Amino acid sequence: MVDPLSVVGIGIGALASKELLGKLLGPTADYLGGELKGLVEKSNVNLTVLFRRALNRLGTRLNEPGQVNPRVLKSIIDEARFCEDQLTLEYFAGVLASSRTENGRDDRGLTFAAMIKELSAYQLRLHYIFYSLLKRLYGDGLLTLNPQRPESRERLRVFLTFESYVKAMDLGPTESLEAILPHSVYGLSRLNLLGDINSWGDLDDLSERGYARVRRPGIILKPHPLGIELMLWVHGLADIPPRDFLLPHVRLETDLDIPIPSDALPVSEILPINYYEEESV
């Protein structure tokens, strides 16, 4: 029998005992188990969740002819088998479902699978929360803004209080807002999943940056077309361009239990009155 510790490159001699290994890894030690079988079984559980969610995302489209590009499939399986975060699995499952095409040529999912691989659970959660808010606040069809245009994205910024951010991100007492907020924003910005200018701070900080009507400390975030595209792929909507994201007929349906803040505001409600009118003069 192959020692699973050697399989993952851990020398058991470097550890005082398997009990200490359990203390170090916690429940993650279940991947090692007492033998290689434990690794396989634990990974299979995650892959079962992945495939079930991909099937649910496809719905009736599963009855249509199609296939997934093999490179995309390999990339997703390699990562998802060690993934237990439910939102991350949902992201991988959405990309897998979106990659099913008639001829299997479409390998755009490689790009999005690589992005998901690079992002932490905190960064993915903020991505999901922000673009859900963007759709909720601006997706009623009243504003005909094209998110692919820079001037439109300025008008599509979203304000979220620190309190709502902490609740939506499900941060516990030991998870620092001061550390996780910049980590999540900078990580998304680095991959162009958020816009180029994002702000956060207390009332004075935000007021100095021009947000004259803000009443509570918080965060202002701006979208990016690539972030929208990833959100569409996660929801199995790979055939919809980012410019159409805010159209009312584009629906984001999921059964994830992630609270989306109800008190977030469009940027127009924290900027000076007539800001855009004055800007255009």
Grouping H, G, I as helix, E, B as strand and the rest as coil, residue 248 is: coil
Give the pLDDT confidence score for residue 60 in this predicted structure: 86
Convert the pLDDT of each residue in 79-103 to its tens digit.
998 888 999 999 999 999 999 988 8
Question: What is the rounded average pLDDT for all residues in the chain?
Answer: 85
Tell the burial category of 270 from Cβ atoms under 10 Å away from its Cβ (0-12, 13-18, 19+).
Answer: buried
At residue 281, the pLDDT reads: 40
163 versus 4: the higher-pLDDT residue is 163
Query: Quick one: which of 231, 4, 5 has its CA closest to 131?
Result: 231
- Residues 133-148 have a mean pLDDT of 88
Of 3-12, 21-30, 111-120, least confident by mean pLDDT is: 3-12
- Burial classification of residue 124, based on how many CB atoms lie within 10 Å of its CB (0-12 exposed, 13-18 middle, 19 or more buried): buried
CA distance 233 to 255: 16
Average of pLDDT values for 67-80?
Answer: 91
In 3-state terms, what secondary structure has residue 151? helix
Does pLDDT of 11 surpass 50?
Answer: no
User: Looking at the predicted structure, is the pLDDT value of residue 13 above 50?
Assistant: no
pLDDT at 55 over 50: yes
Predicted local confidence at residue 7, as pLDDT:
39
Q: Which of 16-20, 84-88, 122-126, 193-197 is predicted with the least confidence, judged by mean pLDDT?
A: 16-20
pLDDT single digits (tens) 233-279 = 999 999 999 999 999 999 998 888 899 999 999 999 999 877 765 55
The whole-number pLDDT of residue 32 equals: 54
Per-residue tokens: 187? 């990580």
Q: Using 50, 70 and 90 to split pLDDT, how confident is the model at 8?
A: very low
Give the confidence band of 196 by pLDDT, cuts at 50, 70, 90. Answer: confident
Residue 218 phi/psi, 5-degree rounding, is 180, -155
What is the Cα–Cα distance from 258 to 255, expressed in whole angstroms? 9
